[in-house]
Amino acid sequence: MSVKDCEIVELPKICDPRGNLTFIESGRHMGFDIRRVYYLYDVPGGSERGGHAHKELHQLVIAMSGSFDIHLDDGKEKKTISLNRSYQGLYICPMIWRDIDNFSSGAVCMVLASEYYDERDYYRDYSQFFANVNKAVE
Ligand code: TYD
């Protein structure tokens, strides 16, 4: 699993002069079924979120409002993706360290996740993540 697997997913967009509409169907617009939805909001300027990796979790991250930057790191390669469209999602596969920053005022970061919340699925220590990601490759 690498940052190359983490890509922007274009979601359906029904344009309408009354306001646009986007929909997401579990398992259809991403390769996993949705078990959990959470969102970050009221993020103070200059804040950073993330700072962890997941062992098994698949996620789709959407900027429902405003914008922010997601820095991805698979232990070898890094890439940064800016999200600012509510009809685009960033798919993040397991074993990717992510930091999220540069939140605009009023930004809402919604995450669709493949599993219920489980603290045991997290790497919160970068050196532990790095050791395990390299072990998986060997
Ligand atoms: P965390 O995943 O560290 O947030 P982020 O990656 O967005 O910065 O979670 C912050 C806190 O919220 C932590 O104590 C765990 C709790 N939490 C839940 O209880 N359920 C959830 O679904 C999530 C994502 C977090």
DSSP state of 127: H
**Residue 125 C-alpha to ligand 1 middle, in angstroms?**
15
Q: Calculate what percentage of the chain has a pLDDT beyond 90.
A: 93
Burial label, 52 (beta-carbon count in 10 A; 0-12, 13-18, 19+): middle
When computed from its CA atoms, the radius of gyration of the chain, rounded to whole angstroms, is 15
Q: pTM here?
A: 0.96
Q: What is the pLDDT of residues 60-104, one digit of tens each?
A: 999 999 999 999 999 999 999 999 999 999 999 999 999 999 999
pLDDT confidence bin for 137, thresholds 50/70/90: low
**Length of the chain as a residue count:** 138
Exposure b/e, 5-32, CB count within 10 A at least 16 = b: ebeebebeeeeeeeeeebebeeeebbeb
Burial label, 105 (beta-carbon count in 10 A; 0-12, 13-18, 19+): exposed
Q: Does residue 19 surpass a pLDDT of 80?
A: yes
**CA proximity to 50, closest of 4, 91, 16, 96:** 96
Residue nearest ligand 1's atom 11 by CA = 119
What domains are defined for the chain? 3-118 (2.60.120.10)
Read off the pLDDT of each residue in 105-121 and give the average, rounded to a whole number.
98
Catalytic annotation, residues: 52
Instruction: For ligand 1, pick from 49, 69, 96, 114 the residue to mutate: most ligand atoms within 8 Å of CB.
Output: 49
Q: Does residue 1 surpass a pLDDT of 90?
A: no
**Residue 76 C-alpha to ligand 1 middle, in angstroms?**
26
**Residue 81 C-alpha to ligand 1 middle, in angstroms?**
21
Instruction: For ligand 1, pick from 34, 37, 38 the residue to mutate: most ligand atoms within 8 Å of CB.
Output: 38
pLDDT confidence bin for 135, thresholds 50/70/90: confident
Q: What is the pLDDT of residues 41-51, one digit of tens each?
A: 999 999 999 99
- Chain mean pLDDT for the chain: 96
Residue nearest ligand 1's atom 4 by CA = 50
**Residue 49 C-alpha to ligand 1 middle, in angstroms?**
10
